[in-house]
Structure 1
Amino acid sequence: MAPCARAAEIVTLQSGFTIRCASREPLSADTVRLHLRSTGDADNYMDVPAGSIATVETTSDELPAPVTATQTRSVGTAEILATSGARHNVNVALLAAVVHAESAGNARAVSRSGAQGLMQLMPGTAAALGVGNTFDPASNVNGGSAYLDALLTRYHDNLPLALAAYNAGPGAVDRYHGIPPFRETQAYVARVIREFNRRIAQGKAGNTTMAAR
């Protein structure tokens, strides 16, 4: 359980949720603290039951540096999408399509279920991703992009399944062995893919490939 100095660790929970952290710290026989960044921010962590950890992988990729509020004010949404897309290897047009479907570009959007910001992150998901302020556009998109990247990896770049998991959760996708039979999720997947294709066709977001990444 020794912390990693520079490389990140990818912790997969029994639920299937994946968390990228800088280090792990055993607090007791039952609890492990995951330090989400190696920036000296003592409050940027989450505690999980030791038994909930399924696997731990070490990756040579360093954790991306957090985006500050000052940086956020100086850039627009298009630049935020481009930066996060490049950082997490996700097609910028796809990120733009998800933002369009989730919040229509409203950084202060809050859903009935409590999802927040441009990419509508639930508070628990945001905390696991190291997003301290879900209403900060750059932090929100960076977290949402990391989550979408993890889902694309989990489902072997199957875009419909990754989008279904983004909307309904990976547990639902795994339970139904495909897109869940939820009207909202099925409509969401179709809506995002339609917008993605439209943006690609029009050459928007500076990317002309149909691939999700």
Structure 2
Amino acid sequence: MSGTIITVAQQKGGAGKTTLVAHLAVSLMQRGLSVALVDIDPQASLSYWYDARQESFGDEETGLTHSKISGWRTQREVEELAASHDVVLIDSAPHAEMETKTAIRAASLVVIPVQPSPMDFWATQPTLDLAKSEKVTPMLALNRVPPRAVLSEVIEGKLKKLDAKVAKARLGNRVGLAAAVLDGKTVSETQRSSVGAKEVKALAAEIYKAAGGAKRLK
């Protein structure tokens, strides 16, 4: 068994990277995949979320595997997790080129979350360049998209001109996503029939397929 490795990376902080990783993980787990999380971000936000999840569900009932690592051990740890899981999701570090390079190098797909703002658009290119330098396929994912915003469509149009696939599914700017994270959960668990949960489900499936995931989702 060799699992699919997906790195979520964005050199700009505050792009919703960790919230996206958590939601992708739970969505794929709910659809029958074994999922491992790797946190290489020094801020350790994903690890704090996982700690909260253990408090909410119990240490053995999180449904996920979690590892907090950095440096030279990253590649080997990821490969070991991929040998025993369907999916490994890596939360990379902003502003840390060497750590991010290691995370991207290990992956078959790098997902770059982009909020619909000029600053986020401009910050996307360095991460794209890193992915290309490591010969890893990038995918851009629009995140925290406000309803009926003209700027969102303008930014999406500009993203489509870059040398990278833009995910068809997008995540709206929904309070439910952030609120669920506080208790170590996701909107797929707290509001399963909500629009936000449906958006997450669609994006997770699209990302898994783009990464070459072979297992059929439930």
TM-score w.r.t. the length of structure 1 is: 0.26
- Considering Cα pairs closer than 8 Å and 6+ residues apart, tell me whether 1 or 2 has the greater RCO: 2
Rg larger for: 1
TM-score w.r.t. the length of structure 2 is: 0.26
